[in-house]
Amino acid sequence: MTTFAIVGAGRGLGAAAARRFGRQGFDVALLSRSQENVDDLAAQLTADGITARGYAADVRDAASLTAALDRAAQSLGPVEVLQYSPIPQKEFLRPLLETAPDDLAGALEFSVHGPVAAVNQALPGMRALGRGTVLVVNGGSAVRPNPQVAGTSIAFAGESAYAQMLHEVLAVEGVHVGQLIIAGAITPGHPRTDPAVLADTLWAMHTERDGFRHFADDLDA
């Protein structure tokens, strides 16, 4: 079997994506800072007949993140699909003119160093399989900088550039890279931003491999 690994697995989009990919036969690796939270989510998925395990990892600690992905691949199988979708921390959401250089360090660790570490860890397995998908999920400030959330605007721009370069470079190796922009809140019951709807979008990005950037909803919604 191969693995669908979610970096930043939570009870909303992460859980919905895990169920969507798990129903298609993927084993699921759930990564977040809290072992208790991912163990609880793994138990729920297991009760639904999905093979899932939780791994504690801090995306701002590259060694922690790569070790967790390595454990997942060793126990579940190589990572075929990697989703990077942790929720930014409040400390990154400072207004531009209140943001000093040191304030950007954490945001860059979170949104640039973390994806680079995760992809570098998962990519050899994808190459061995001859296929793979990297799914990057960002808020609207990734494509429309917002001076009220300077840290994420700057860091998401770097993450977007990295992912788009990967999209171009890895296509010849059978590895697809796509970005999903969720401009507003993830809202249960919303026709476009309900977690299950977004999970379907991620599944379509994986299977259809149609372009790089996709929008869950209009930026002005």
Sign of CA dihedral 121, 38, 190, 86: negative
Cα separation, 4 vs 20, in Å, equals 10
> What pLDDT, on a 0 to 100 scale, did the predictor assign at position 221?
42
What are the pLDDT tens digits along the chain (221 aa)?
799 999 999 989 999 999 999 999 999 999 999 999 999 999 999 999 999 999 999 999 999 999 999 999 999 999 999 999 999 888 888 999 999 999 899 999 999 999 999 999 999 999 999 999 999 999 999 999 999 999 999 999 999 999 999 999 999 999 999 999 999 889 999 999 999 999 999 999 999 999 999 999 876 54
- Sequence-distant (6+) residues with CB within 8 A of 196 are 16, 19, 20
> What pLDDT, on a 0 to 100 scale, did the predictor assign at position 92?
81
Name the residue ranges covered by the structural domains of the chain.
3-215
- Which CATH number describes the domain made up of 3-215? 3.40.50.720
Residue 157 burial by Cβ neighbours in a 10 Å radius (0-12, 13-18, 19+): middle
Count of CB atoms within 10 A of residue 31's CB? 29
Cα separation, 134 vs 132, in Å, equals 7
> What pLDDT, on a 0 to 100 scale, did the predictor assign at position 220?
53
